[in-house]
């Protein structure tokens, strides 16, 4: 091969392989390695294309002062990740390989994901690993990894990389570093100064306000006092079938009042006094953006937002769906609706559905309001899987395909019936709902949850027999807890974080021990961290402030703001906050140390003591022998002497569940290199009889 | 001073979190009394058992029962006045 050598830089190895395959004239690029780092050599238009991948970010923002006890630090710079992150050693070989390939190239093309992160990581590699090649590099823009789109994007290269987007990305990294590092250092140092013990305490520009949402909800739930009210549950019989009916009032504040309704209606016959029939159209759903895909996948399959994003990323790298990190709900015609549907019709399960749409003269999708300048909404590329997909991958792909078809469907026609039944002066309602014409539901049926209630023909004046009328004793309920999906939606609604970072921030809150469980329960540590930040630096957990910074970054991306201005404003606002924290270092340290101590104690609580019923069973260490065991906290009050032995080697953690046989708490025991073992702490548990 | 229930630092008997729960307990007693005709002590016991009551509300109910504030004359009447 002769001619110029062109280095094409992708974001992930799988993407590099696809790009090389798509661009090689024979569709068969050569795979080579430098120190185990794969790259591909392709031949096209007389040029030698060297396609290499990054491994996500190879560079990161690090403070100029490395000493973790020093803050504030406002000097930040890009450094190779292997220099500052313990688990990023492999990035050194990767950077060396990219540098070597860059030295041999005469032209450079950036083919990373077309978004803020993709542009930023590409920029840092072009600048630092390739030797200031960011200004001469061209850009491939694509939303799918299909051969057709990759070839087109190579033919229509942009002359340069998207510098305003890069500026916004750099600004985000610097702001996150500035806030995260300074505030986390301030908290960690304060706690260490007070207690002499090191504990990882963190907060950040988005993490703080997100935790604040959770804390605010936790406070409402934990201090909630229910009030009693009463309702009526009734059933009627029509043509031999039994139907639930609603009483005209949902809430009655007195038991006697509710009982009076029961006495006056039970076993009586009522009469239908009014029938309302309403036909209405239910429009098709709009295409998926990342947030709505994450919400739907959580609601249908209970996948966390992070898991959905990861699965969607794999499907994208397999060229099965378009780029998932999008906030668009638009489907431009340029993606080729018909070609996609024709390809999908080759898959047996869509073999009947896709042709149904193809028979139409016009295909017009129902679109949502949200737009994304970089990518359309998430849609199937039309490619069929080349490998056997895992169950979660198959489910998510099916969801994306069916949603894509559904948006082209006709509105569903539904009918609602509401009949009023009067008995002894009381009014009840019977409701029915039924689909008259399925429309788009045909395509989305496996994911539909609405239940149909088909009523028999009803006529005004008809007598209806009340089979059962019951008084229901009820209580008002606290607001629901956030789950990972509703929290993500809340972050979206409040405009904090980005589609690419929100799921990760939620994960961090869990990893730091601020939150636990699927129904997010805030720990004592999470409550205390927010309480302390609220007392000494409320601005850093203010949603408005975080949103303001997000808007500034959007302005940078659209070329209406300068990165330097935003960073300088951030320094001006952060400096007094950090000074305030430093001024109160003792008090903050004491409060945080106490919170960490309590959190550590909490982690040792195994469950309630079955002997005294008031204390908690806890993992303790004998002062005399140093041996560990489980004892009751009431021992220190002289009330209870319950104790249970523990293995002296390996790690022991509460399993957070009770034994099915005897009801005692269970613990999880793990020896290095062995499988974890969960067992009941009670040595006399009948479940252990066979082992004795 | 430490919160009598959780040990958090506070300037009064209870920390802010438990104080809020106590206020809710006082506020909702009237509704319970009106609809269930329960005494203050019975009310606190009901709250302790209720699955929808928050954990801090239950802790305050327990605290009031143990500390003797469960007496209706001493408990809500005085506190409600204070609350106003």
Q: What is the mean pLDDT of chain A?
A: 91
ipTM: 0.89
CB contact under 8 A, B17 and A527: yes
Higher pLDDT, A560 or A623: A560
The sign of the CA dihedral A487, A490, A492, A498 is: negative
pLDDT of residue B57: 96
Contacts of A527 in chain B (CB under 8 A): 17
A632 forms bridges with which residues in the sheet?
A: A617
* Closest alpha carbon to A575 in A548, A609, A540, A600: A540
Q: How far is A218 from chain B (nearest CA, A)?
A: 9
Contacts of A255 in chain B (CB under 8 A): 35-36
Q: Which site among A223, A257, A535 would you substitute to test the B interface, given the most B Cβ atoms closer than 10 Å to its Cβ?
A: A223
Query: By the CB < 8 Å criterion, does B42 face chain A?
Result: no
Contacts of A254 in chain B (CB under 8 A): 34-35
Give the pLDDT band (50/70/90) at residue A432. Answer: very high
Q: Which pair of structure tokens corresponds to residue A402?
A: 């069916």
B12 domain residue, yes or no:
no
Residues with Cβ within 8 Å of residue A584, at least 6 apart in sequence: A536
Superfamily, domain A169-222+481-596: Topoisomerase I, domain 2 (1.10.460.10)
Q: How far is A253 from chain B (nearest CA, A)?
A: 6
B73 domain residue, yes or no:
yes
**Tally of CA atoms within 13 A in the half-sphere of A414 that contains its CB:** 19
Q: How many residues make up chain B in this entry?
A: 84
- Write the pLDDT tens digit of every residue in A492-521: 999 898 888 898 899 999 988 899 888 899
Q: How far is B22 from chain A (nearest CA, A)?
A: 8
Please check whether residue A268 is in contact with residue A429, taking contact to mean a CB–CB distance below 8 angstroms.
no
Distance CA A409, CA A417 (A): 25
CA distances from B16 to A187, A225, A527, A581 (A): 22, 16, 12, 21
Q: Maximum distance among all alpha carbons in chain A?
A: 96
pLDDT of residue A417: 95
Q: For residues A562-568, give the mean pLDDT.
A: 94
Query: By the CB < 8 Å criterion, does B49 face chain A?
Result: no
Residue A323 annotated as catalytic: yes
Q: Is 90 exceeded by the pLDDT of residue A212? A: yes
Give the pLDDT band (50/70/90) at residue A452. Answer: confident
Does the N-terminal peptide bond of residue A388 adopt cis geometry, omega within 30 degrees of 0? no
CA distances from B79 to B23, B50, B64 (A): 9, 22, 12
Query: By the CB < 8 Å criterion, does B34 face chain A?
Result: yes
pLDDT of residue A311: 97
Q: For residue A534, how far is the Cα from the chain centroid?
A: 26
Q: What is the mean pLDDT of chain B?
A: 83
Please check whether residue A519 is in contact with residue A302, taking contact to mean a CB–CB distance below 8 angstroms.
no
CB contact under 8 A, A253 and B34: yes
Please check whether residue A91 is in contact with residue A82, taking contact to mean a CB–CB distance below 8 angstroms.
yes
A644 forms bridges with which residues in the sheet?
A: A630
pLDDT of residue A500: 82
Distance CA A93, CA A84 (A): 15
Residue ranges per structural domain of chain A: 5-161, 169-222+481-596, 228-284+412-475, 290-406, 604-691
Query: By the CB < 8 Å criterion, does B48 face chain A?
Result: no
Query: By the CB < 8 Å criterion, does B73 face chain A?
Result: no
CB contact under 8 A, A478 and B52: yes
Distance CA A635, CA A612 (A): 10
If you classify domain A290-406 with CATH, what class do you get? Answer: mainly alpha
CB contact under 8 A, A226 and B28: yes
Predicted structure pTM score: 0.82
Contacts of A226 in chain B (CB under 8 A): 28, 47, 50, 52-53
DSSP state of B70: T
H-helix or E-strand spanning residue A435: strand A426-437
* Closest alpha carbon to A498 in A227, A117, A136, A92: A117
The residue of chain B with its CA nearest to that of A222 is: B54
Annotated active-site residue in A154, A323, A444, A482: A323
Give the pLDDT band (50/70/90) at residue B78. Answer: very low
* From A265-269, A584-588, A633-637, B18-22, the region with the lowest mean pLDDT: A633-637
CB contact under 8 A, A227 and B32: yes
Residues with Cβ within 8 Å of residue A155, at least 6 apart in sequence: none
- Write the pLDDT tens digit of every residue in A339-376: 999 999 999 999 999 999 999 989 999 999 999 988 99
Query: By the CB < 8 Å criterion, does B43 face chain A?
Result: no
Give the domain range for residue B76: 17-83
Distance CA A339, CA A356 (A): 14
Distance CA A441, CA A336 (A): 23
CB contact under 8 A, A225 and B20: no
* From A305-314, A426-435, A528-537, the region with the lowest mean pLDDT: A528-537
Q: How far is A228 from chain B (nearest CA, A)?
A: 7
Query: By the CB < 8 Å criterion, does B57 face chain A?
Result: yes
* Strand order through the sheet with A47-53: A30-34, A37-44, A47-53, A5-10, A107-111, A138-139
In CATH, what number does A5-161 get? Answer: 3.40.50.140
A9 forms bridges with which residues in the sheet?
A: A52, A110
Residues with Cβ within 8 Å of residue A472, at least 6 apart in sequence: A230, A231, A232, A233, A258
The residue of chain B with its CA nearest to that of A590 is: B9
Q: Which pair of structure tokens corresponds to residue A363?
A: 């295909």
Please check whether residue A51 is in contact with residue A42, taking contact to mean a CB–CB distance below 8 angstroms.
yes
Residue listed under structure tokens 């229910």 = A226
Give the pLDDT band (50/70/90) at residue A200. Answer: confident
Q: For residue A548, how far is the Cα from the chain centroid?
A: 23
B1 domain residue, yes or no:
no
Contacts of B36 in chain A (CB under 8 A): 228, 255
Contacts of A229 in chain B (CB under 8 A): 35
**Beta-carbon count within 10 A of A576 CB:** 11
The sign of the CA dihedral A299, A300, A302, A308 is: negative
Distance CA A29, CA A8 (A): 13
Q: Is 60 exceeded by the pLDDT of residue A667? A: yes
Query: By the CB < 8 Å criterion, does B5 face chain A?
Result: no
* Closest alpha carbon to A148 in A310, A336, A284, A296: A336
Q: How far is B23 from chain A (nearest CA, A)?
A: 9
Give the pLDDT band (50/70/90) at residue B73. Answer: very low
Distance CA A390, CA A399 (A): 14
CB contact under 8 A, B47 and A225: yes
Contacts of B9 in chain A (CB under 8 A): 591, 594
Query: Which ranges of A36-77 would DSSP assign to H, the alpha helix?
Result: none
Residue listed under structure tokens 């429309």 = A439
pLDDT of residue A190: 87
The residue of chain B with its CA nearest to that of A479 is: B52
List residues of A whose CB lies inside 8 A of any B CB: 219, 221-229, 253-255, 475-478, 527-528, 531, 591, 594
CB contact under 8 A, B56 and A253: no
CA-CA-CA-CA torsion for A119, A121, A122, A124, nearest 10 degrees?
120
Contacts of A253 in chain B (CB under 8 A): 31, 34-35
Domain count, chain B: 1
In CATH, what number does A228-284+412-475 get? Answer: 2.70.20.10
The residue of chain A with its CA nearest to that of B23 is: A223
Closest by Cβ to A223, choosing from B32, B34, B54: B54
Q: Is 80 exceeded by the pLDDT of residue B72? A: no
Please check whether residue A485 is in contact with residue A294, taking contact to mean a CB–CB distance below 8 angstroms.
yes
């Amino acid at each position: 091969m002769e001619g110029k050598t062109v280095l094409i830089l992708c974001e992930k190895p799988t993407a590099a392989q696809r790009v090389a395959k798509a661009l090689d004239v024979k569709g068969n690029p050569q795979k080579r390695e430098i120190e185990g780092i794969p790259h591909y050599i392709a031949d096209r238009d007389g040029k030698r294309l060297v396609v290499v991948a990054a491994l996500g970010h190879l560079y990161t923002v690090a403070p100029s002062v490395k000493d973790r006890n020093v803050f504030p630090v406002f000097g930040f710079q890009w450094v190779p990740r292997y220099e500052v992150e313990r688990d990023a050693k492999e990035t050194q070989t990767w950077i060396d390989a990219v540098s070597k390939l860059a030295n041999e190239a005469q032209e450079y093309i950036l083919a990373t994901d077309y978004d803020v992160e993709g542009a930023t990581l590409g920029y840092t590699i072009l600048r630092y690993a390739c030797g200031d090649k960011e200004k001469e590099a061209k850009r491939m823009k694509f939303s799918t990894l299909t051969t057709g789109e990759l070839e087109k994007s190579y033919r229509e290269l942009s002359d340069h990389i998207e510098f305003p987007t890069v500026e916004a990305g750099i600004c985000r990294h610097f702001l996150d570093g500035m806030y995260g590092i300074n505030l986390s250092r301030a908290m960690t140092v304060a706690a260490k100064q007070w207690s002499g013990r090191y504990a990882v305490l963190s907060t950040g520009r988005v993490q703080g306000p997100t935790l604040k949402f959770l804390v605010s909800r936790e406070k409402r739930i934990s201090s909630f006092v229910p009030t009693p009210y009463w309702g009526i549950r009734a059933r009627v019989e029509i043509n031999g079938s039994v139907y639930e009916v609603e009483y005209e009032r949902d809430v009655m504040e007195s038991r006697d009042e509710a009982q009076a309704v029961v006495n006056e209606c039970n076993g009586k016959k009522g009469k239908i006094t009014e029938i309302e029939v309403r036909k209405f159209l239910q429009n098709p759903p709009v295409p998926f953006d990342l947030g709505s895909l994450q919400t739907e996948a959580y609601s249908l399959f209970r996948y966390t937002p992070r898991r959905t994003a990861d699965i969607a990323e794999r499907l994208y790298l397999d060229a099965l769906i378009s780029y998932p990190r999008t906030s668009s709900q638009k489907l431009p015609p340029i993606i080729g609706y018909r070609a996609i549907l024709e390809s999908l019709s080759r898959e047996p399960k869509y073999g009947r559905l896709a042709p149904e749409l193809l028979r139409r003269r016009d295909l017009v999708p129902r679109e949502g309001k949200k737009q994304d300048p970089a990518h359309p909404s998430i849609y199937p590329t039309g490619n069929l899987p080349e490998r056997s997909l895992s169950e979660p991958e198959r489910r998510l792909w099916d969801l994306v395909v069916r949603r894509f078809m559904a948006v082209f469907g006709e509105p569903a026609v539904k009918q609602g019936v509401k009949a009023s039944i009067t008995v002894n002066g009381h009014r009840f309602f019977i409701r029915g709902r039924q689909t008259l014409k399925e429309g788009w539901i045909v395509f989305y049926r496996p994911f539909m949850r609405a239940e149909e209630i088909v009523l028999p023909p009803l006529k005004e004046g008809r007598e209806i027999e009340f089979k059962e009328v019951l008084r229901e004793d009820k209580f008002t309920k606290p607001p629901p807890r956030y789950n990972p999906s509703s929290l993500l939606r809340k972050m979206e609604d409040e405009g904090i974080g980005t589609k690419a970072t929100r799921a990760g921030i939620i994960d961090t809150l869990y990893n730091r021990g601020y939150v636990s469980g699927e129904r997010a329960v805030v720990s004592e540590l999470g409550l205390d961290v927010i309480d302390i930040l609220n007392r000494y630096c409320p601005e850093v957990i203010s949603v408005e402030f975080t949103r303001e910074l997000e808007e500034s970054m959007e302005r940078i991306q659209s070329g209406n703001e300068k990165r330097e201005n935003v960073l300088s404003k951030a320094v001006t606002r952060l400096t007094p906050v950090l000074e305030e924290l430093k001024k109160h270092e003792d008090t903050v340290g004491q409060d945080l140390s106490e919170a960490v101590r309590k959190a550590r104690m909490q982690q040792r609580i195994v469950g309630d003591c079955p002997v005294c019923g008031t204390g908690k069973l806890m993992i303790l260490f004998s002062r005399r022998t140093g041996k560990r065991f489980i004892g009751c906290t009431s021992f220190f009050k002289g009330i209870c002497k319950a104790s249970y032995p523990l293995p002296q080697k390996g790690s022991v953690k509460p399993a957070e569940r009770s034994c099915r046989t005897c009801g005692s708490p269970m613990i999880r025991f793990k020896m290095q290199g062995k499988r974890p073992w969960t067992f009941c702490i009670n040595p006399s548990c009948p479940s252990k009889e066979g082992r004795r | 001073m430490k919160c009598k229930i959780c040990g958090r630092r506070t300037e009064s008997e209870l920390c802010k979190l438990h104080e809020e729960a106590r206020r809710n307990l006082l506020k909702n007693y009237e509704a319970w009394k009106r609809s269930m005709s329960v005494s203050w002590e019975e009310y606190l016991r009901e709250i302790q058992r209720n699955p929808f009551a928050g954990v801090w509300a239950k802790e305050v109910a327990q605290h009031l029962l143990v500390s003797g504030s469960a007496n209706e004359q001493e408990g809500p009447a005085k506190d409600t006045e204070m609350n106003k």
